[in-house]
């Protein structure tokens, strides 16, 4: 009489996964040990569990799925509670009306399918996935057995497996009393921060909406929505965060700012916290200040060799002003910190004026702006000139007074670095003149202007060659001859990059060096469009052109450069 293993072995042979020569000695070993033939094939590594699952899917006419290539929606995951998914090793894939489609490793396990129909009170359609895929997906979406992930804690709270501390208990630390570190709300808030740090997030957004309390992480510049904490926990979570960041929990009408310092895996991390009242409660955004970014060299910022050599010459000048321009979140501050680290030597005195001081830099004098006591950018800048610095870094040029002092400092033997909000490098000249700086001062002081953007790097683990479309090549103005000799890369999406195909970011740059001819143009108030044309004639690459070089090098994708340089249409 044929056993179930015999039918499965026939399927495996039909699929070409095992041969008759392999089966002979395996059958003998299986008979002597009492193990099944298929189990013995797996134990001897002649088959993988994934191949067995594929054979079972073929045997029963059920679709085989690769869970690693799927991103499952929160409402689908919620269709099967965590304790049921873990007990029966199933992962929900789709949900439609009263039917849920689940992945399991053995489609012949009718007992599991019947139990699921009874427990979920829904029709259950099976799909097959490898046991390893199912285990990984359960850990990712429901939390591993030993994990303390946000999703797992929220699931526990939602399912009522743990008791919720009252708001009074959560707020107890406000009067100096001891708070139980194991209280669920405290553990949940700590886990939100830890998970964000592990995911390489730059920001954590907690946003009260009409019917939900939304949680989002910004990873590589893009916001990703996470499993939302229950709306009923909104007040407790916000109060806990305000206590941690030394804000007043009694004040809910005006914006507040604070800081949190905590330890994650033996590393101390700082968070800059902003709280602002909205229609449905207070919205909190926490910026994770990553000190690792300070250790970046110029090459790690994204410079190619030629641009890096130009930039190193500029930051080695004894005087003048160098401006880094771009919108918020384009990496200007990280670039300036990397520059200060590069030029920080015992024979140079460096002073910075910042609002706020985000990172403590060894060997550098940093001044925190405090407008409440009159310590503005301009006041601090005037005073620091009496400290005889060699290098000055100004967080941002915001008004005429600050700009005038900074430019005058650059004309009297100081090297000045600062940032400005403009779309491209030549526009920085127009911006300075617009706020009231005399053109001859701009022409005399400016040494270089650099615009930058951040683009996502193709994931090294899942990146693979691909053929770009003609439209992408035309948009980036890539010559077909250059394209033929390049290897274009695009990420397929894996667990390492959270299915995005990208991991990490680097800069694309537009370096505008000011020479004597450009100084004359500035003095004559030539429009920025003419400055830009002349700069390009001199060899300046635009942001899009620099991005295209990095696409040809396989560092990023065409669509990523196009997204970051939509304003660069030349």
pLDDT digits (tens, 9 = 90+) for 163-202: 434 343 444 444 444 444 447 888 888 888 888 888 888 8
Q: What's the burial of 115, exposed, middle or buried (CB within 10 Å: 0-12/13-18/19+)?
A: middle
Q: How confident is the model at residue 369 (pLDDT cuts 50, 70, 90)?
A: confident
pLDDT of residue 85 exceeding 90, the answer is no
Of all residues in the chain, the percent with pLDDT exceeding 90 is: 23
Of 226, 402, 391, 216, whose CA–CA distance to 314 is shortest? 391
Classified as helix, coil or strand, 10 is helix
Q: How confident is the model at residue 209 (pLDDT cuts 50, 70, 90)?
A: very high
| Rounded distance between C-alpha atoms, residue 449 and residue 171, angstroms | 49
Check if the beta carbon of residue 318 is closer than 8 Å to that of residue 445. no
List pLDDT tens digits, range 321-343.
Answer: 999 998 888 888 888 888 888 88
Q: How confident is the model at residue 147 (pLDDT cuts 50, 70, 90)?
A: very low
Q: How many CB atoms lie within 10 A of CB 388?
A: 10
In this prediction, residues 379-406 reach a mean pLDDT of: 87
pLDDT of residue 57 exceeding 80, the answer is yes
Cα angle 357, 361, 364 (rounded to 5 degrees) comes to 95
pLDDT of residue 292: 60
**Element spanning 263, H or E:** strand 256-264
pLDDT of residue 293: 55
Q: How confident is the model at residue 140 (pLDDT cuts 50, 70, 90)?
A: confident
In this prediction, residues 458-464 reach a mean pLDDT of: 88
| Rounded distance between C-alpha atoms, residue 43 and residue 49, angstroms | 10
pLDDT of residue 561: 92
Q: How confident is the model at residue 456 (pLDDT cuts 50, 70, 90)?
A: very high
pLDDT of residue 143: 65
pLDDT of residue 118 exceeding 90, the answer is no
pLDDT of residue 216: 94
In this prediction, residues 145-156 reach a mean pLDDT of: 57
In this prediction, residues 357-382 reach a mean pLDDT of: 83
Of 313, 363, 361, whose CA–CA distance to 336 is shortest? 361
pLDDT of residue 458: 92
Token pair for 494: 């894996």
pLDDT of residue 451: 93
| Rounded distance between C-alpha atoms, residue 538 and residue 36, angstroms | 75
pLDDT of residue 181: 46
φ, ψ dihedrals at 317, nearest 5°: -70, 155
Q: At which residue do the structure tokens 């088959």 appear?
A: 47
What is the gyration radius of the CA atoms in the chain, in angstroms? 30
pLDDT of residue 372: 80
In this prediction, residues 234-259 reach a mean pLDDT of: 91
Q: Provide the angle, in degrees to the nearest 10, between the axes of the packed helices 131-142 and 49-60.
A: 100
In this prediction, residues 508-536 reach a mean pLDDT of: 89
Classified as helix, coil or strand, 306 is helix
Q: How confident is the model at residue 557 (pLDDT cuts 50, 70, 90)?
A: very high
**End-to-end Cα distance, the chain:** 76
> Which residues face 215 on adjacent strands?
206
Check if the beta carbon of residue 31 is closer than 8 Å to that of residue 8. no
Check if the beta carbon of residue 362 is closer than 8 Å to that of residue 379. no
In this prediction, residues 206-213 reach a mean pLDDT of: 92
In this prediction, residues 239-267 reach a mean pLDDT of: 87
Cα angle 164, 257, 339 (rounded to 5 degrees) comes to 120
pLDDT of residue 108 exceeding 90, the answer is no
pLDDT of residue 8: 77
pLDDT of residue 149: 63
pLDDT of residue 295 exceeding 80, the answer is no
Lowest mean pLDDT among 77-86, 104-113, 264-273: 264-273
Of 318, 321, 316, whose CA–CA distance to 298 is shortest? 316
| Rounded distance between C-alpha atoms, residue 193 and residue 228, angstroms | 14
Of all residues in the chain, the percent with pLDDT exceeding 70 is: 89
pLDDT of residue 167: 40
pLDDT of residue 359 exceeding 70, the answer is yes
Higher per-residue pLDDT: 74 or 148: 74
In this prediction, residues 475-483 reach a mean pLDDT of: 84
Q: How many CB atoms lie within 10 A of CB 162?
A: 13
pLDDT of residue 265 exceeding 70, the answer is no
pLDDT of residue 155: 60
Lowest mean pLDDT among 154-168, 253-267, 496-510, 524-538: 154-168
pLDDT of residue 411 exceeding 80, the answer is yes
Q: At which residue do the structure tokens 């293993």 appear?
A: 5
Of 422, 363, 420, whose CA–CA distance to 391 is shortest? 363
**What is the rounded average pLDDT for all residues in the chain?**
83
Classified as helix, coil or strand, 178 is coil
Of 90, 64, 60, whose CA–CA distance to 77 is shortest? 90
Q: How confident is the model at residue 152 (pLDDT cuts 50, 70, 90)?
A: low
pTM above 0.75, yes or no: no
Q: How many CB atoms lie within 10 A of CB 384?
A: 21
Give the E-state strand segments of 106-247 in sequence order: 123-128, 201-208, 213-219, 222-225
Q: How confident is the model at residue 550 (pLDDT cuts 50, 70, 90)?
A: very high
Among positive and negative, which fits the CA dihedral 342, 332, 446, 519?
A: positive
| Rounded distance between C-alpha atoms, residue 542 and residue 262, angstroms | 41
In this prediction, residues 63-72 reach a mean pLDDT of: 83
> Which positions ≥6 away from 412 have C-beta within 8 Å?
319, 385
In this prediction, residues 511-520 reach a mean pLDDT of: 90
pLDDT of residue 511: 92
In this prediction, residues 234-243 reach a mean pLDDT of: 92
pLDDT of residue 205: 96
In this prediction, residues 335-362 reach a mean pLDDT of: 85
Classified as helix, coil or strand, 201 is strand
């Amino acid at each position: 009489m044929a056993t179930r293993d015999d039918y499965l072995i026939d399927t495996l042979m039909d699929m070409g996964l095992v041969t008759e020569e392999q089966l002979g000695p395996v059958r003998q070993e299986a008979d002597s040990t009492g193990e099944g033939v298929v189990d013995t094939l797996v134990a001897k590594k002649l088959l993988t569990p994934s191949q067995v699952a594929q054979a079972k899917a073929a045997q029963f006419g059920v679709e085989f799925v690769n869970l690693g290539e799927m991103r499952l929606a929160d409402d689908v995951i919620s269709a099967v509670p965590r304790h049921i998914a873990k007990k029966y090793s199933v992962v929900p894939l789709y949900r439609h009306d009263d039917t849920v489609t689940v992945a399991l490793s053995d489609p012949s396990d009718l007992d599991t399918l019947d139990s699921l129909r009874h427990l979920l009170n829904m029709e259950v359609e099976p799909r097959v996935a490898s046991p390893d895929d199912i285990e990984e997906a359960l850990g990712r979406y429901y939390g591993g057995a030993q994990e303390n992930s946000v999703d797992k804690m929220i699931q526990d709270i939602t399912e009522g497996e743990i008791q919720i501390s009252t708001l009074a208990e959560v707020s107890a630390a406000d009067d100096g009393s001891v708070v139980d570190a194991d209280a669920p709300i405290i553990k949940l808030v700590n886990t939100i921060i830890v998970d964000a740090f592990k995911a390489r997030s730059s920001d954590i957004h907690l946003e009260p909406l009409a019917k939900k309390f939304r949680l989002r992480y910004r990873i590589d510049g893009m916001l990703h929505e996470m499993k939302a904490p229950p709306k009923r926990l909104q007040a407790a979570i916000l109060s806990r965060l305000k206590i941690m960041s030394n804000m007043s929990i009694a004040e809910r009408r005006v914006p507040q700012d604070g800081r949190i310092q905590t330890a994650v895996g033996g590393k101390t991390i700082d968070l800059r916290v902003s709280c602002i009242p909205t229609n449905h409660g207070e919205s909190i955004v926490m910026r994770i200040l990553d000190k690792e970014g300070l250790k970046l060299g110029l090459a790690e910022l994204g410079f190619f060799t030629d641009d890096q050599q130009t930039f190193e010459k500029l930051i080695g000048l004894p005087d003048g002003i160098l401006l880094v321009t771009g919108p918020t979140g384009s990496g200007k501050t990280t670039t300036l910190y990397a520059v200060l680290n590069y030029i920080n030597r015992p024979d140079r005195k460096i002073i910075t004026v910042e609002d706020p001081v985000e990172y403590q830099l060894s060997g550098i004098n940093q001044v925190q702006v405090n407008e409440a006591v009159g310590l503005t950018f301009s006041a601090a800048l005037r005073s620091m000139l009496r400290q005889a610095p060699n290098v000055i870094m100004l967080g941002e040029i915001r008004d005429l007074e600050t700009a005038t002092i900074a430019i005058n400092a650059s004309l009297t033997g100081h090297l000045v670095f600062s940032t400005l909000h403009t779309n491209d490098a030549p526009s920085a000249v127009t911006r300075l003149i617009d706020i009231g700086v005399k053109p001859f001062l701009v022409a005399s002081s400016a040494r270089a202007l650099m615009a930058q953007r951040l683009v996502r790097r193709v994931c090294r683990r899942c990146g693979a060659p691909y053929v770009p479309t003609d439209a992408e090549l035309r948009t980036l103005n890539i010559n077909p001859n250059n394209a033929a000799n390049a290897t274009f890369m695009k990420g397929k999406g894996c667990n390492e990059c959270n299915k995005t195909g990208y991991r990490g970011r680097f800069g694309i740059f537009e370096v505008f060096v000011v020479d004597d001819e450009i100084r004359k143009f500035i003095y004559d108030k030539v429009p920025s469009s003419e400055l830009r044309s002349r700069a390009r004639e001199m060899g300046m690459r635009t942001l899009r052109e620099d991005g295209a070089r990095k696409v040809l090098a396989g560092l990023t994708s065409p669509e990523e450069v196009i997204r970051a340089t939509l304003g660069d249409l030349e």
